[in-house]
A and B are shown apart, each in its own frame.
Chain A
Amino acid sequence: QQQVKQSPQSLIVQKGGISIINCAYENTAFDYFPWYQQFPGKGPALLIAIRPDVSEKKEGRFTISFNKSAKQFSLHIMDSQPGDSATYFCAASYAGGTSYGKLTFGQGTILTVHP
Chain B
Amino acid sequence: KAGVTQTPRYLIKTRGQQVTLSCSPISGHRSVSWYQQTPGQGLQFLFEYFSETQRNKGNFPGRFSGRQFSNSRSEMNVSTLELGDSALYLCASSFDGMNTEAFFGQGTRLTVV
Identify the A interface with B (CB < 8 A). 31-32, 34, 36, 41-46, 49, 51, 89, 93-95, 97-108
Contact = CB atoms under 8 A, between A and B. Distances in A.
B56 A95 contact: no
Contacts, number: 70
Contact of B98 (A100, A106, A107): A100
Contacts of B99: 31-32, 51, 93-95
B45 A103 contact: yes
Interface residues of B, number: 28
A101 B50 contact: yes
A3 to B, nearest CB: 11
B29 to A, nearest CB: 11
Contacts of A46: 101-104
Contacts of A94: 99
Interface of B: 4, 6, 31-33, 35, 42-43, 45, 48-50, 55-56, 58, 90, 92, 94, 97-99, 101-107
28 contacts: A43-B106, A43-B107, A44-B90, A44-B104, A45-B104, A46-B101, A46-B102, A46-B103, A89-B42, A94-B99, A95-B98, A95-B99, A99-B56, A100-B31, A100-B55, A100-B56, A101-B31, A101-B55, A101-B56, A101-B94, A101-B102, A102-B33, A102-B48, A103-B33, A103-B35, A103-B43, A103-B102, A106-B42
A93 to B, nearest CB: 6
Contacts of A105: 42-43
- 3 A-B pairs closest in CB distance: A101-B48, A101-B97, A43-B104
